[in-house]
Amino acid sequence: MGEELKVIVFALSTEEYGIEVDKVRTIERMMPITRVPKTVDFIKGVINLRGVVIPVIDLRGRFGLGETEATENSRIIIVAVNNLEVGFIVDAANDVIDIDSDTIDTPPEVVGGIKAKYLRGVAKLGEGRLLVMLNLSEVLNKSEIIRLEHLEE
């Protein structure tokens, strides 16, 4: 038995993803987002979270999965990593589960269209259910964004 991990489970298109609970500040319903000009497309803007201004990223856009309109189920997950607070727009967030860190395997090259370097691993939940664990510091890597910006220019 390895370490027990508490994980927030959220959905992006057909896959299920996980973020450790201790990195998640809160989960919010969709709220008005103020556009910030001259940023990459997946940065949707900033929100007012109880007096604090927090940038919001569309995770679908971040992983190049093709953005969709927000639905009733869409949520903003506020994460705090490396002194950065950022909100992720996800299709749904509805579960907290315990997983055993031993069940996390190294990820294959590409999972659901997401490159391996953004992933911490894949956890098997039984009944063929797979949970993709995100590598948050890589997802929020800014030098990566700068390169993306240059590509767009």
Q: How many CB atoms lie within 10 A of CB 92?
A: 15
Q: Which two tokens stand for residue 71?
A: 């639905």
Site for other proteins in 18-37 (CB under 8 A): 32, 34-37
38 binds other proteins (CB under 8 A): yes
**What's the closest the beta carbon of residue 84 comes to other proteins, in angstroms?**
5
Instruction: Candidates 11, 46, 97, 148: give the one binding other proteins (CB under 8 A).
Output: 46
Does position 84 interact with other proteins (CB under 8 A)? The reply is yes
Q: Which of 142, 42, 145 is nearest to 88 (CA)?
A: 42
Instruction: Pick out residues in 52-81 that bind other proteins (CB under 8 A).
Output: 52-55
Q: What is the DSSP letter of 34?
A: B
Q: Please choose, from the candidates 150, 147, 116, 151, the residue with its C-alpha nearest in 3D space to the C-alpha of residue 133.
A: 116
User: Where do contacts with other proteins occur on this chain (CB under 8 A)?
Assistant: 32, 34-39, 43, 45-48, 51-55, 83-86, 140, 142
